[in-house]
Amino acid sequence: MRLGVIDIGSNTVHLLVVDAHPGAQPLPAFSHKTELRLSESLEADGRVSDSTADRLVAFILECLGVAEDQGVSDLFAFATSALRESPNGDVVIERVRAETGVELEALSGADEARMTFLAVRRWFGWSSGRLLVVDIGGGSLELASGLDEEPDVALSLPLGAGRLTRERLPGDPPSVAAARELRAHVRSALAEHVRPLLTSGSPDRAVGTSKTMRSLARIAGAAPRADGQFVPRTLSRDDLHAIVNRLAGLDTAARATLPGVSEGRARQLYAGALVAEAALDLLQVEQLDICPWALREGLILRRLDHLIS
């Protein structure tokens, strides 16, 4: 069976096609994406502009053609924080449905955390025991902990790397004062919510997901993507402290020259590093194992579970 998922994130819109069979690992078959930069192109009041909605609809129509060409038999689509928080997000979702026929689901933050946790659990397996998952997206930070496929704790906080860069980190590079204020804000916001994670039990494995985490691990010396997804990759607390200090004085162009850092995400990397550092410090975690699966794969796995049940 060939499944397709359209992921409308804060930075990119991504169609992933996978070959999926009962009891087997979903295997990526085709990928098609564009940098819509939804969160950066919002109006001053947070509304999705008509021009951005035009580009979104056009790309989804393009994805439908690609999905047909690739033999996709089941296609679904979801959106994350940038669209669900927009005052006219419902209007855009209805426009997508009317003009493309695609039923676009705006996931809640808790569901993002739950589905990412499911992907991590399936990747590392039951032998990993209690998992703690840290997922830094463009618009939000998801945290989850638990022993089963459904986490005991699932949190979503407005601490995404793109959001924080846009709202609280002006300048390129940002000033020392702005960086200090952002650091204090992130830690204060996290401190209000970490208690359920700290009291739910010590994790047997702490895991980081998302492009931001993969980029930070690559800067710290993790294997490049070309080496394959089965190569173990880690990111330590000490590594993060060093990376935060290194990024502080770099502008976007300089960050883009670092290993594993794309030009499109270079600007928001410093904010992402500050969030990751704060999470490890406040959650008392010394090292994260990097998981190649995240939200998109979790939704595919859940979809497959329902299709074969």
Query: What's the pLDDT tens digit per position in 70-125?
Result: 999 999 999 998 899 999 999 999 999 999 999 999 999 999 999 999 999 999 99
Rg (CA), the chain: 19
Strand 287-290 relative to strand 205-209, pairing: parallel
CA 102, 15, 156, 149 dihedral sign is positive
Q: How far apart are CA 262 and CA 219, in angstroms?
A: 12
- Give the other-Cβ count within 10 Å of 99's Cβ: 15
Given this model, what pLDDT does residue 309 score? 57
Three-state SS for 196?
helix
Q: Are the beta carbons of 158 and 84 closer than 8 angstroms?
A: no
Instruction: Show the domains of the chain with their CATH numbers.
Output: 2-106 (3.30.420.40), 110-295 (3.30.420.150)
Measured CA to CA, the distance from residue 196 to residue 160 in angstroms comes to 20
Angle (CA) 142 144 147, round 5°: 160
| Residue 145: its H or E element | strand 141-146
pTM of the model: 0.95
3-state secondary structure of 290: strand
Report whether pLDDT(40) > 90: no
- Per-residue pLDDT tens over the stretch 274-301: 999 999 999 999 999 999 999 999 999 9
In whole angstroms, give the CA distance from residue 4 to residue 12: 16
Taking the C-alpha atoms of residue 190 and residue 159, their distance in angstroms, rounded to an integer, is 9
41, two tokens: 């192109």
